[in-house]
A and B are shown apart, each in its own frame.
Chain A
Amino acid sequence: MTYEVPVAPGEKAELVETTGTDLDGWPMWEVFVRARRGISHVHIGSLHAPDPVTALENARDVYTRRGEGVSVWVVPSTEVHAFEPEAAAEYIEANEKVYRLATTYEIPDEVGQM
């Protein structure tokens, strides 16, 4: 990606280029943290590390300095597979099948809470 870096008035505008190439050669890891027992791990960010052990150590230092979690997962970013946004529409249905929703069924008040 090429873009102009900000310049002060009177300075010459400069273009910089980034290619998205890794210089350290360390893979990227996605970090998931379980905030407390009883709830799922939630994605919290990513980091670079040479191996899973170091990735976990770094995740602890970067993402859980204030007791934010009781458990941490790290997953190689390349191992996360997802629908592309354009294709997602074909896979993920909109709310047109309303009969799947509990609220579409009318139950008389006399029956009480259901």
Chain B
Amino acid sequence: MTSPERFQAIIDAEDKIEPTDWMPEGYRSTLVRQIAQHAHSEVIGMQPEGNWITRAPSLHRKAILIAKVQDEAGHGLYLYSAAETLGVKRDELQELLHQGKHKYSSIFNYPTLTWADIGAIGWLVDGAAITNQVMLTRCSYGPYARAMVRICKEESFHQRQGYELLIQLCQGTPEQKAMAQDALDRWWWPSLMMFGPHDSDSPHTEQSMTWKIKRVSNDDLRQQFVDMTVPQAEYLGLAIPDRELRWNPERGHYDFGEIDWEEFWRVVKGNGPMNRDRLAHKSRAWEEGAWVREAATAHAVKRAERSARSAA
């Protein structure tokens, strides 16, 4: 059996490709691109929420938010480590992000204006992420699929704490409920955009599905998310900002309105409300954190010398 035949046989058998296996260059580069973009998204995703750590309304909520932001950093690291099995280095990928050559999920280019946004991010943004990531646990590349299993477990905490936060707001004062509604109004459409362009405008989808990197198409994932989320909004007593949203008994799914694709591409191209801030903040944190990395290296050298001396 030739290497390409062996690769295809593993894919066909629903088995996993592992780092030392032969793989087509396109498979490798598609994964690097996708995993890096995913890792960058986790890391940039710390910013909109980190924004509220000092202003969380109670110690309990502050502790939850810190734990969640720490998880996002962890998710970034699992993913960079999965990417590294493909022959790239974490620092290289970060460098490409800082140079603006790698993208990250556009959702993080929207601002978090009120405390209710923290609830909406957990419920909608993490909910949309889970829909995508549950699919990716079945991805054909072993290290990526395994990272996703860990991430999905933790995302469940993220989504539930967000929804619970919104339940509290919706059962609170009229002002609190209005704040929750306002958050839903602003986050609903950007959350639907997280699934990407229509299948018909997504040129790489077909190849990714053949390689079993992607298992479900953008439009199908988006539909799954809408079907799952509408009843949750009803429970909260909040209105989803879409006049065309209605149950379609023939399809067995909710019909919903068209995304503003102009806005979608505008944000992808770097002109969303927060694109410049997010990237500038990320680069600054990396540069200003240089002393921590240097100190860790110096400390390791010192510790090694000390233990060499005591051994002598």
Q: Which residues of A contact B (CB under 8 A)?
A: 1-3, 5-6, 8-11, 14, 16, 18-26, 28, 45-51, 53-54, 61-62, 65-66, 82, 84-86
Contact = CB atoms under 8 A, between A and B. Distances in A.
B28 A22 contact: no
A5 B33 contact: yes
Given A8-B269, A18-B88, A23-B91, 17 more contacts: A1-B28, A1-B29, A2-B29, A3-B29, A3-B30, A6-B204, A9-B265, A18-B96, A20-B87, A21-B92, A23-B92, A47-B77, A50-B297, A50-B299, A54-B299, A62-B77, A65-B74
A1 B35 CA distance: 15
Interface string B83-103: 011011111110110000111
- Chain A contact surface mostly: loop
A66 B82 CA distance: 21
Contact of B84 (A8, A28, A50): A28
Contact of A1 (B85, B88, B268, B301): B88
Nearest to A53: B303
Interface in B287-312: 293, 296-297, 299-301, 303-304
A51 B303 contact: yes
Contacts of A24: 91, 293
B92 A50 contact: no
Given A20-B88, A24-B91, A85-B21, A45 B101 contact: no
A5 B297 contact: no
Interface residues of B, number: 48
Contacts of A28: 84
B89 A23 contact: yes
Contact of B32 (A11, A18, A49, A84): A18
Given A28-B84, A65-B71, A85-B22, A23 B300 contact: no
A82 B103 contact: no
A61 to B, nearest CB: 8
A67 to B, nearest CB: 12
